[in-house]
A = this chain, B = another copy of it.
Amino acid sequence: MSAYSELSAHFTRTAALGNGIGILQWDSDTMMPKGAAETRAESLALLRVLHHGMVTDPRIGDWLAGASGEDLGPWEQANVREIERQYTVQTALPADLVDAASRASSKCEMAWRKARAEADFPALLPYLEEVLRLQREMGQAKGEKLGLSTYDALLNDYEPGGRSARIDALFDDLAQFLPAFTEQVLEVQSRRPATPPLSGPFAVEAQRALGVEMMRTVGFDFDRGRLDVSTHPFCGGADNDVRITTRYDEANFSKALMGVLHETGHALYEQGRPRDYIFQPVGQARSMSVHESQSLLMEMQACRSREFLTFAAPRMRAAFNGAGPAWEAEALWRSYTRVERGFIRVDADEVTYPAHVILRYRLEKALIGDEMKLSDLPGAWAEGMKTLLGVVPPDDRLGCLQDIHWPSGGWGYFPTYTLGAMTAAQLFDAACKADPSILPGIARGDFAPLLAWLRTNVHSQGSLLETDALLTRATGRPLDASVFKAHLVRRYGGEMEQHQAA
């Protein structure tokens, strides 16, 4: 067997283990009775140790050395590159550091649940200090191996090839644009007639049926996936078995519906990864920003469009026996594109969401870089909110205690949300230009042209190309903020109102 074949076989086995873990994790979040939690934690911990042993197997180093002398095709070369990247990261950290960081995060997560409920940042502070210290240490260890700054080394886990210098420029551009633009959007909205509310209750079974219908409409393959319920919606599962979740609110069907479409965007990416390399690192999704671009492309770009809501409105009415002006496509569109300044990131709309992310990105970079003390976080948070969003949270529960990311050790993750939003806009724009039948298709519930473009240009590419190269191939240029801004201006800037008034 060639060294490459050994590598490939090893990662196929590793994927088999990872797929088992994926389903067990899904089960923990959807099906598991609560009395099984400890027993399950033991199973998952054991399997994760075994998985870690496989991805750090010292033979990988030998096989990589051997494969470098072999004559390989482009996919195989890219697979070697991805394996080497992961192996370098996975073996950069001493086991006791990984263990200490994992324990500190578990403790901090527990402290965070209490501290958030009580809006008590000082109670969290010592735990979070410890998490931050260990994250910094891990970032330094990885950074040394990879030749990256500490923050970039952390970012690299979620966004391979991502660099903060680049993100600074993109986010500064947006940060300059957003405050005044948000003002303008709110002004435009204030001139509109009030939208009557949709009145429920909306039966869970009907919500589920509508969600499934819409998943089928956009192209979800139920032969290789499922829709279930969990407290926190996610897209998980395994290769060829992509499982998304949602939660239903009988008072508001739109949350679950838009949530399902968001997760379906993730799922379509997973279901569209290259079949021949599905178990290999090169066959995985490119990065978190590209993943988020697929969910946001589906939810924000495609399904909050007037075209989609024209198609969906009669189906919503049929699902819930809806009647009256609130159920008209235009009213639904207004409700689905409503902008509001708020304190909470996960409740934010498309226009204000980036401000939440930019704030967190700037703060976590300063904290990791030791340019700011953690005890100063609440003050810095309030100041940043004021500048970027024009509102100041009344307490830390609605401020710096709202997200689980930092307590749980997810430092370097936040920027991928807004990179994803920008990527989504750039991809959707390129798709609609490349195939003018995409938007008219969506208006008829025909997502085949859009899905075909995504399959060709994103999904089937796996990790063959680096993120910039992928985006350049698909859209003609690397990521910049202009298309996203243009999208926001077009959708929210009042052009339609001006047009109608003219």
- Chain A positions near chain B (C-beta within 8 angstroms): 12-13, 16-17, 19-20, 23-24, 27, 31-36, 38-40, 42-47, 50, 221-226, 238-241
A45 CA to B12 CA, complexed, in Å: 13
* 6 cross-chain CB contacts under 8 A: A16-B43, A19-B42, A20-B47, A32-B241, A33-B222, A34-B223
Say yes or no: A38 contacts B240, CB within 8 Å: yes
Say yes or no: A23 contacts B27, CB within 8 Å: yes
20 more A-B contacts (CB under 8 A) besides A19-B39, A39-B239?
A: A16-B39, A16-B42, A16-B43, A16-B45, A17-B47, A19-B42, A20-B24, A20-B43, A20-B47, A23-B24, A23-B43, A31-B31, A32-B241, A33-B223, A33-B224, A34-B223, A36-B224, A36-B240, A39-B240, A40-B238
Q: A23-B24, A23-B27, A27-B27 are in contact. Are A238 and B36 (CB under 8 A)?
A: yes
A295 CA to B165 CA, complexed, in Å: 66
Residues of B within 8 A of A225 (CB): 33
Nearest-neighbor residue (CB-CB) of A14 within chain B: B46
Say yes or no: A241 contacts B39, CB within 8 Å: yes
Nearest-neighbor residue (CB-CB) of A226 within chain B: B33
Residues of B within 8 A of A43 (CB): 16-17, 19-20, 23, 238
Q: A20-B24, A27-B27, A43-B20 are in contact. Are A221 and B35 (CB under 8 A)?
A: yes
Say yes or no: A35 contacts B223, CB within 8 Å: yes
Residues of B within 8 A of A240 (CB): 35-36, 38-39
Rounded to whole Å, the gap between the CB of A49 and the closest CB of chain B is: 9
Residues of B within 8 A of A27 (CB): 23, 27
Q: How many copies of the chain does the oligomer comprise?
A: 2
A70 CA to B236 CA, complexed, in Å: 48
Say yes or no: B34 contacts A241, CB within 8 Å: no
Residues of B within 8 A of A36 (CB): 224, 238, 240-241
Rounded to whole Å, the gap between the CB of A227 and the closest CB of chain B is: 11
A225 CA to B34 CA, complexed, in Å: 9
A31 CA to B19 CA, complexed, in Å: 15
A35 CA to B16 CA, complexed, in Å: 15
Q: Which 8 A-B residue pairings sit nearest by Cβ, starting from the closest?
A: A36-B241, A35-B223, A35-B224, A20-B43, A16-B46, A16-B42, A39-B240, A16-B43
Residues of B within 8 A of A46 (CB): 13, 16-17, 20
Nearest-neighbor residue (CB-CB) of A21 within chain B: B20
A32 CA to B224 CA, complexed, in Å: 8
Residues of B within 8 A of A31 (CB): 31, 226
Rounded to whole Å, the gap between the CB of A158 and the closest CB of chain B is: 25
A50 CA to B17 CA, complexed, in Å: 10
A122 CA to B44 CA, complexed, in Å: 47
Nearest-neighbor residue (CB-CB) of A222 within chain B: B33
Rounded to whole Å, the gap between the CB of A305 and the closest CB of chain B is: 30
Residues of B within 8 A of A40 (CB): 19, 23, 238, 241
Q: A23-B24, A24-B23, A27-B23 are in contact. Are A241 and B42 (CB under 8 A)?
A: no
Rounded to whole Å, the gap between the CB of A239 and the closest CB of chain B is: 5
A226 CA to B38 CA, complexed, in Å: 17
